[in-house]
Amino acid sequence: MDENKLQVIVVDDDPEIVDTISGMVELTEHDVISFTDPYRAIQHFIKKPSELVLTDLNMPHIDGFEMIKQMMNRRRTTSFILITGEKNSTTVFQARNLNVAELFFKPVSFDQLEPAIERVYQKKLYWIEKLKEVSRKTG
């Protein structure tokens, strides 16, 4: 695990949006892998969990909320950023109930996304430091 980078998964059924969002993540210098199929994203996550998942809400066969639930069942410490074109209170409440870290409405800009990614990264660094403190005290 590289402490200097987040492992990020980007999921959207639209390849152009995947490329755009992945490009934004790459600008933050974190590692990114992208999927247009949420099932493939879940399979990858099971084998190699990520610290951050950026996902669309409306996708064929499985929506972003269900994908998030399945991933959370595997790793509760992963942060999720939901990006959607659906502006309604139901979406906001469901995202809040799932403890989604951030909710953005399309189109999302780098100026919105970069600070959200940075907050997740700072959270990771905070917990790494806490683990080191515990290790020093017990070791």
Q: Identify whether 82 is part of a domain.
A: yes
Beta carbons within 10 angstroms of residue 82's beta carbon = 24
Give the whole-angstrom CA distance, residue 110 versus residue 25.
Answer: 9
22 is in which domain, residue-wise?
7-138
Note if the bond before 38 is cis, omega within 30 degrees: no
Backbone phi and psi for residue 34, each to the nearest 5 degrees, phi listed first? -125, 155
Q: In whole angstroms, what separates CA 18 from the centre of its chain?
A: 13
CATH code of the domain in which 16 resides = 3.40.50.2300
Q: Identify whether 91 is part of a domain.
A: yes
Q: Identify whether 99 is part of a domain.
A: yes
Q: Identify whether 1 is part of a domain.
A: no
Domain count, the chain: 1
Q: Identify whether 2 is part of a domain.
A: no
- Provide CB contacts within 8 A for 135, sequence distance 6+: none
Residue pair 66/43 in contact (Cβ under 8 Å)? The answer is no
**More confident call, 59 vs 2:** 59
pLDDT tens digits, one per residue of 9-34:
999 999 999 999 999 999 999 999 99
Q: Identify whether 42 is part of a domain.
A: yes
Give the whole-angstrom CA distance, residue 58 versus residue 121.
Answer: 26
Q: Identify whether 95 is part of a domain.
A: yes
pTM assigned to the model: 0.92
